[in-house]
A and B are shown apart, each in its own frame.
Chain A
Amino acid sequence: MWRYEKRLQHPVNITTPNPQLAQFIASQYGGPDGEIAASMRYLSQRYAMPYDIGKAVLTDVGTEELAHMEMIAAIIHQLTKGLTAEQIAASGLGPYYIDHTNGIWPQAAGGVPMNACEFQSKGDPITDLFEDLAAEQKARTTYDNILRVVTDPEVCDPIRFLREREIVHFQRFGEALRAVQDHLDSRNFYALNPAFDNPAKTNAVTANASECSVCGG
């Protein structure tokens, strides 16, 4: 379960509206590599993860993505606040305005609605973790693309923060993948799907408190 914490993970205080930028950044809300897809991907994949390290990383990164989704929505909200219909129509955000006014709705920069086909939950821990590694890089590239067209430092700051988190998540998923492979036959990682063919009997490789003296020493 989750409880709401009434603050953003990183502050968003944008004082100059910019509807065109809002349209671009909206892709990180409901676009193919956006934060909603990221969160739903990891939180859905957890159930086919047999190992503790993997379960923890998917849960905690999936939870952080919810906080990122909220930051992106706050950026879009503040970038469109107080604009007139004429200003919006002149900016390219007109079609969005017709359907949603200034409400927040998940779509890609090009108008394609959020869709579960933007992520996969394959029921195979290795396949899923490779998807996750790719997803973090795709999101990082999208943030790089956004940063090239942003000049307002109040927008750059939270976008840079989010970009950096993609890199950290990529690192953690890489470590989780290695931890999964440590459970498998190193001569053939693909001999079976540990989530399906051979349900994990133990969590032997996951260090518990009593094993820390071993792995720490």
Chain B
Amino acid sequence: MNENCCQLLNIIDQTSFAMDDVLLFLDTHPCDQQALSYYQAMARARREAMDAYQSSCGPLMVDGVNSASGYWSWIQGPWPWEGGC
């Protein structure tokens, strides 16, 4: 995978992890305003990085496949367990 895609994936990993963590915190602290704004900021950062990655590097979600290319790129590796970035 090219360097730019690896950088974008790294941002996706970080922002997604922030969401994984704040999600669990909010489950048990649903009134925490600071956590709610953190969630909002991370969700937005993740969305932006996901859009950038999926438009130039390939799909991460099945609704992010660019079918205009005339090819079902979902099947294209490397798959997550194969390493790469």
For residues 3 through 34 of chain B, which have their beta carbon under 8 Å from a beta carbon of chain A? 9, 12-13, 16-17, 20-21, 23-25, 27-31, 33
- Contact of A6 with B by CB under 8 A: yes
In this assembly, does A83 line the interface, its C-beta being within 8 Å of a C-beta of chain B? no
> B68 — which chain A residues lie within 8 A by C-beta?
none
> A201 interface residue, CB < 8 Å from B?
no
- Whether A207 contacts B30 in the complex (CB less than 8 A), given A6-B61, A60-B24, A61-B24, comes out as yes
Q: Among residues 168 to 192 in chain A, which have CB atoms less than 8 Å away from a CB atom of chain B?
A: 168-169, 172, 175-176, 179
B28/A168 in contact, CB under 8 A: no
B12 touches A215 (CB 8 A): no
> Given A9-B16, A10-B13, does the pair A172, B81 have CB atoms closer than 8 Å?
no
Whether B85 lies near A11 (C-beta < 8 A) is: yes
Q: What total of chain B residues lie within 8 Å of the partner, measured CB to CB?
A: 27
Chain A residue numbers with a CB within 8 Å of B43 are none
Query: Cβ of B81 and Cβ of A64 under 8 Å apart?
Result: no
Cβ A70 vs Cβ B81 within 8 A = yes
Q: Does A78 sit within 8 A of B, measured CB to CB?
A: yes
Check if A216 sits within 8 Å of B31, measured CB to CB.
yes
B residues in contact with A78, CB < 8 Å: 81, 83
Distance in Å: Cβ of B36 to nearest Cβ of chain A: 9
A77 contacts B81, CB within 8 Å?
A: yes
CA gap between A189 and B6 in the complex, in Å: 51
Q: Are A215 and B24 in contact (CB under 8 A)?
A: no
B70 in contact (CB, < 8 A): no
**Minimum distance in angstroms from B56 CB to a CB of chain A:** 15
Q: List 12 A-B contacts (CB under 8 A).
A: A5-B60, A6-B60, A7-B13, A7-B60, A9-B13, A12-B81, A168-B24, A169-B24, A172-B24, A175-B28, A179-B28, A207-B31
Which B residues contact A (CB, under 8 angstroms)? 9, 12-13, 16-17, 20-21, 23-25, 27-31, 33, 59-62, 74, 79-81, 83-85
Closest CB pairs A-B (n = 9): A74-B81, A175-B28, A56-B27, A212-B31, A13-B83, A215-B31, A8-B80, A172-B24, A6-B60
